[in-house]
Amino acid sequence: MDNRINLLKTLSEINGPSGYEEEVRNFMREALDPLVDQIDVDQMGSIIGRLGAEDNPRIMLSAHMDELGLMVRYITEEGYLKIHPLGGWLDQAIVNQRWIILTNKGTVPGITGIKTIHVMKAEDRKKVFDRDSLFIDIGAKNREDVIKNYGIRPGDAIVPDSKFGLLGDGDLLLGKAWDDRVGLAVMIEVLRRIAKSEVTIDKTIYFVATVQEEIGLRGAKTSSYAVSPDIAINLEAGVAADFPGMNNDESQERLGLGPTVFLHDSSMIPNIKLRKFVMEVAENEKIPIQFNVLNGYGQDGAEAQRSRSGTPAINIAVPTRYLHSHNGVISMSDFDQTVQLITALMQKMNSDEIKNIRQFV
């Protein structure tokens, strides 16, 4: 398997919901450590890798490690798991799905049960099942069985049970957690390309893998204060609108048309000078880019932008179908072009350009 595809497969299949990112953190630390000058983990659990001298102007390249998940709220006397969401699930995306419960004894498979249509009232068949009515069936006999033999306790994390695969002619990749494992993969590939070069002669690049983005951009807040960047570029999974039921008023991204520059989301408007610089580099390098204006969304770049006295920041994304569900789809060509764009930005953003971007007058 191609090394890039193998990287994406591995990151997609790793389990790490918000607050339980240890497996992802171990992978990212192993990937970054040989290529950076220094690596640290802050008190929230975010990884901060530094490439270049500490006293240079600082660029922070960030992506979050956590994925959407659930938590065991409590165990019923009959042995079913009641659940609490970790992140922004639609209730209908949780129903009748396979899950993996992460325990101290290992992993346990389960499924969110659903009442059969045969016994439903006609008016109930069109309803969305409220998450508070949902439960996970692991095949246990009772509550004691769940605790004693399966090792499950309240507070244990739960992740989607989804496997990586290829769609169509092989350019489309199917998997869970592209939000934001695709951003982590971009970060690793960019670091691999520039680690042995002289890119950091007059600047320092911080490669930051954050925690708990899905429940409030929490890791980005602490890591932004730790790094105190001069420029922040956040890497994310975008919101593709190229399938039935979506329209341009909701989102403007399409798979296969290159990386997306976010012009607006509910958490951030990017710095105008930084946006212009990104567009100029993309044009000069002949890298196709697209733009998105969203009413909702929220991403780690917003915390970098708001940190200390403020930081010029931008969000650049790999377009993704079916965000915040068990399975998403990305394009390999979009991934490659995003890596190409971010690498070019790192190469061309010198200390003079950083100073110019940071000045409003």
CB-hemisphere CA count at 13 Å for 205? 30
**How many other C-beta atoms are found inside a 10 Å radius of the C-beta of residue 119?**
7
In terms of Cα–Cα distance, which of 280, 70, 294 is closest to 161? 70
Q: Which of 213, 214, 236, 303 is catalytic?
A: 213
**Which is nearest to 215 in space by CA: 24, 44, 85?**
85
Active-site residue, 213 included: yes
Using DSSP's 3-state secondary structure scheme, residue 166 falls into: strand
3-state SS class at 105: coil
Say which residues have a Cβ less than 8 Å from residue 216's Cβ, sequence separation at least 6.
none
Coil, strand or helix: which one is 319? coil
130: buried, middle or exposed (CB in 10 Å: 19+, 13-18, 0-12)?
exposed
Instruction: Give yes or no for a contact between 10 and 191, defined as CB atoms under 8 angstroms apart.
Output: no
* Segment (H or E) for 357: helix 351-358
Q: Which residues are catalytic?
A: 213
